[in-house]
Amino acid sequence: MYCVHTIHPDLFWVGASDRRLALFENVFPIPRGVSYNSYVLLDEKTALLDTVDKAVGERFFENLEHVLEGRPLDYVIVNHMEPDHAATLGELLRRYPDVTVVGNAKTHTMIGQFFDCALEGRTLTVKDGDTLTTGRHTLTFAMAPMVHWPEVMVTYDTTDKTLFSADAFGTFGALNGNIFADEVNFERDWLGDARRYYTNIVGKYGVQVQALLKKAAGLDIQCLCPLHGPVWRQDIAWFVEKYQRWSTYTPEDRTAAIFCGSVYGHTENAAEILANRLAEKGVKGISLYDVSRTDVSELVSEAFRCSHLVLASATYNGAIFTPMENLLMDLKAHGLQNRTVAVIDNGTWAATAGRQMKELVGGMKNMTVLEESVSLKSSVKEPQREALEALADQLAADILK
């Protein structure tokens, strides 16, 4: 049975949520599920903005049919061809054989790669700045390549001042009746998932996100409709500011995230001593993670949030403890920069992890690696405790300046 929401008198949400999916893109845990947002504009001509993942296809088509009430579908606007938003496009084209597919040249190429369907005479190719009038509404298209696929574009309704932002401004999490951000406590309940979504899905493409934000800055945006998560109709500038920070790799909080890779607990003990000393010096919001137990997507998100990172790792097989090495490779892959990093290592007979961690971080852009580091021989002794306290003092002085 259909389940739709009214956004404007002639704009409707016809998406659906998936609470059964365990891994987004088969890699990121989503314990709160995810929504797939799709929108229908009813005007003299009807327009559907993006489709949904196959997992929720049945509900989507029920919603679409209910909103159209027997009217033909004139346009389907494809802002993003990734299958979580376009997997049902082939079925849509079969059900609505007269619909015109609106997209850029790369969009139409990808449709042919994903589906076996004849598009001759059924497409409208748009480029940056082109417009489409449906009657009362005029839609303007802006290209947003690599946010986060090369064919991505966004659509701006100049009539209702609504931006359909593709994957930008999305978040993990199923929608639970309240589809608007102002109907939930977004900062408390959603911001963490929004940050984890951005940093892991889009984080590498900060330059491209900046380009999109510059285009958006010239628009009067009264409503923001992403492809995942809540719709924004209030406090849009607050969320845009988060994207400004994330896309420029600017920390949200001046604090320390301590990432610990410990085998038998001795490296963890060193990390706890450091955290306690930082707290005594007045640092707030410290986080300490066991990299073996916390999913790396959470760790990447925290690294984007915090100004200072501490890498505490055992030496393992003559190298960095494997989960810690995975984290560092992920941070590098996502382009993290502009952070201050401290290193702690441990080795019973050969503590080499510290040097290797410094080398990896040193290969990243605009990272400050503190010369002072702490090296353990199996466990913390009094000299190492003193060194940890000295390192905490150095970090605290920099964080609180």
Distances (CA, A) of 325 to 14, 228, 308: 42, 31, 18
CA angle 176, 172, 75 (to 5 degrees): 80
Structural domain includes residue 139: yes
Residues 92 and 223 in one domain: yes
Structural domain includes residue 363: yes
Residues 9 and 128 in one domain: yes
State the chain's mean pLDDT as an integer. 97
Domain that holds residue 143: 5-247
Residues 108 and 127 in one domain: yes
Predicted local confidence at residue 95, as pLDDT: 96
CATH number of the domain to which 381 belongs: 3.40.50.360
75-88, pLDDT tens digit by residue? 999 999 999 999 99
Structural domain includes residue 310: yes
Stretch 300-323: mean pLDDT, rounded? 97
The whole model's pTM is what? 0.94
Helix/strand/coil for 346: strand
* Among candidate residues 228, 247, 266, the one where a domain is terminated: 247
Distances (CA, A) of 8 to 37, 224, 231: 15, 12, 12
Structural domain includes residue 401: no
Structural domain includes residue 400: no
Dist. CA 218–CA 239, nearest whole Å: 16
Residues 139 and 279 in one domain: no
Identify whether the C-beta of residue 96 lies closer than 8 Å to the C-beta of residue 72. yes
pLDDT of residue 137 exceeding 90, the answer is yes
Confidence of residue 118 (pLDDT cuts 50, 70, 90): confident
Number of domains in the chain: 2
Confidence of residue 120 (pLDDT cuts 50, 70, 90): confident
Predicted local confidence at residue 191, as pLDDT: 98
Stretch 168-183: mean pLDDT, rounded? 97
Residues 10 and 123 in one domain: yes
Residues 121 and 200 in one domain: yes
Residues 126 and 162 in one domain: yes
DSSP conformation letters of 72-108: PP-EEE-S--SHHHHTTHHHHHHH-TTPEEEE-HHHH
- Single-letter amino acid, residue 218: G
Predicted local confidence at residue 175, as pLDDT: 98
At a CB cut-off of 8 Å and minimum separation 6, what does 256 contact?
275, 278, 283, 286, 287, 306, 307, 308, 309, 310, 395, 399
Residues 264 and 225 in one domain: no
Stretch 326-336: mean pLDDT, rounded? 97
26-59, pLDDT tens digit by residue? 999 999 999 999 999 999 999 999 999 999 999 9
Helix/strand/coil for 272: helix
Buried/exposed code over 146-178 (b: 16+ C-beta within 10 A; e: otherwise): bbbbbbbbbbbbebbebbbbbbbbbbbbbbeee
At a CB cut-off of 8 Å and minimum separation 6, what does 327 contact?
259, 291, 296, 299, 300
Residues 280 and 214 in one domain: no
Residues 41 and 183 in one domain: yes
Residues 298 and 207 in one domain: no
Helix/strand/coil for 223: strand
Structural domain includes residue 42: yes
Residues 243 and 260 in one domain: no
H helical segments located in 5-99: 57-68, 83-86, 89-95
* Among candidate residues 247, 264, 292, the one where a domain is terminated: 247
Dist. CA 217–CA 222, nearest whole Å: 12
Structural domain includes residue 45: yes
* Among candidate residues 247, 274, 304, the one where a domain is terminated: 247
CATH number of the domain to which 207 belongs: 3.60.15.10
Confidence of residue 357 (pLDDT cuts 50, 70, 90): very high
pLDDT of residue 371 exceeding 90, the answer is no
pLDDT of residue 372 exceeding 90, the answer is no
